[in-house]
């Protein structure tokens, strides 16, 4: 049986009222729940040691975290706990979508697309200063549209080459056409991880690994279990809220996740596994199911084909 200490499990964010009575036993005021509940999240231990050794900070996709936020997070978790942060979308979208939240920028080209200086100054440096020793992978999420494969890969290669070394970086793509040997080689050349994302329009997890030549591109990987394949995010929200139980189990997702985690750990690749409530309805229970699936895999088992 594999040593689960080599896997970091966590959820996509942590402040869900549907987890009251499960993860959370204390009473929080509405204004303090998201600010003060992280300590109880990090201590959640349904069977043995704490289950969560990482967490995804999703709100940083919309704006960089403030030093005060990061210091508050650091004060609530153990010294070996890691934060996986989504990188500000201002740096990862080439053109603003025609959405009201972009205001006058809607529909226009983004001059900050892949701006490495802005990343270092506004994203990386605050984490280094205020989450010292607790920094997990920075996840650069690139949306499905507006990215022609070859020009995008050219730009990505140049951007990754300029990133400050010594920090964990991961790329998450939503366009299956980018899953290619060149994409894999670019990530490998810069020691950057591919984010295996179980999401609406992406291939299954093991198929992603097959398309990457069954090779990991860094000393760690990031896995994000987001939505069932083929199900839009808004539909998943409607189906699964308020996230207090498993609504629709995804057995193939669980098996693929366990197989990929086992393969990575057997190659001394550290898996960061982040589970969203919208994947099945209750992320903590999904994680516990994957843990049980991992315990059932013989040490000698090979990664099965997709």
pLDDT at 30 over 90: no
Helix (H, G, I), strand (E, B) or coil at 140: strand
Residues 83-96 have pLDDT tens digits of 999 999 999 999 98
pLDDT at 137 over 70: yes
Average pLDDT, the chain: 94
Alpha helices in the chain (DSSP H): 33-36, 38-43, 67-76, 116-119, 125-130, 149-162, 181-190, 205-211, 233-240, 251-266, 283-295
Q: Compute and round to an integer the Cα radius of gyration of the chain.
A: 19
Residue 120: DSSP 8-state = I
Across the beta sheet with 135-142, the strand order is 8-11, 270-275, 220-225, 193-198, 169-173, 135-142, 82-86, 54-57
Which tokens sit at 134?
A: 């607790």
pLDDT at 301 over 70: no
Please state, as a whole number, how many other Cβ atoms lie within 10 Å of the Cβ of residue 62. 11
Residues 141-158 have pLDDT tens digits of 998 776 789 999 999 999
Residues 229-250 have pLDDT tens digits of 999 999 999 999 999 999 999 9
The confidence score (pLDDT) of residue 197 equals 98
Q: What percent of the chain has pLDDT over 90?
A: 86
Distance CA 122, CA 112 (A): 12
> What do you get for the CA distance between the two ends of the chain, in Å?
23
**Average of per-residue pLDDT across 18-47:** 94
Please state, as a whole number, how many other Cβ atoms lie within 10 Å of the Cβ of residue 174. 17
pLDDT at 304 over 70: no
The confidence score (pLDDT) of residue 1 equals 61
Which residues partner with 122 through β-bridges? none
pTM of the shown model: 0.95
CATH fold of 4-295, please? TIM Barrel (3.20.20)
Distance CA 217, CA 220 (A): 8
Residue 24 confidence class, pLDDT cut points 50, 70, 90:
very high
The confidence score (pLDDT) of residue 3 equals 76
Residue 303 confidence class, pLDDT cut points 50, 70, 90:
low
Residue 6 confidence class, pLDDT cut points 50, 70, 90:
confident
Residue 279 confidence class, pLDDT cut points 50, 70, 90:
very high
Residue 107 confidence class, pLDDT cut points 50, 70, 90:
confident
pLDDT at 302 over 70: no
The confidence score (pLDDT) of residue 305 equals 44
Residues 181-194 have pLDDT tens digits of 999 999 999 999 99
pLDDT at 306 over 70: no
Distance CA 173, CA 299 (A): 31
**Average of per-residue pLDDT across 112-123:** 97
**Average of per-residue pLDDT across 107-131:** 95
């Amino acid at each position: 049986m594999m040593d689960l200490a080599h896997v970091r499990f966590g959820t996509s964010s942590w402040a869900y009222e549907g987890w009251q009575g499960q993860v959370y036993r204390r009473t929080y005021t509405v204004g303090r729940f998201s600010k003060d509940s992280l300590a109880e999240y990090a201590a959640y231990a349904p069977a043995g040691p704490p289950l969560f050794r990482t967490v995804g900070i999703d709100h940083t996709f919309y704006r960089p975290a403030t030093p005060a936020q990061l210091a508050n997070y650091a004060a609530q978790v153990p010294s070996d706990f890691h934060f996986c942060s989504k990188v500000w979308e201002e740096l990862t979208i080439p053109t603003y979508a025609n959405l009201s939240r972009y205001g006058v920028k809607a529909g226009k080209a983004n001059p900050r697309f892949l701006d490495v200086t802005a990343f270092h100054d506004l994203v990386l440096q605050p984490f280094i200063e205020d989450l010292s020793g607790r920094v997990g992978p920075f996840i650069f999420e690139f949306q499905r549209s507006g990215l022609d494969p070859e020009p995008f890969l050219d730009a990505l290669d140049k951007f990754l080459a300029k990133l400050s070394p010594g920090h964990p970086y991961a790329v998450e793509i939503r366009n299956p056409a980018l899953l290619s040997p060149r994409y894999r080689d670019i990530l490998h050349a810069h020691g950057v991880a591919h984010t295996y994302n179980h999401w609406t329009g992406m291939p299954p997890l093991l198929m992603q690994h097959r398309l990457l030549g069954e090779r990991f591109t860094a000393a760690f990987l990031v896995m994000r279990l987001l939505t069932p394949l083929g199900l839009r995010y808004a539909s998943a929200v409607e189906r699964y809220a308020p996230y207090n139980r498993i609504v629709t189990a995804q057995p193939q997702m669980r098996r693929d996740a366990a197989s990929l985690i086992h393969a990575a750990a057997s190659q001394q690749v550290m898996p960061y596994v982040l589970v969203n409530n919208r994947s099945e309805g209750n992320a903590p229970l999904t994680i516990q199911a994957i843990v049980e699936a991992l315990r059932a895999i013989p040490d000698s088992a090979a990664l099965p084909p997709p």
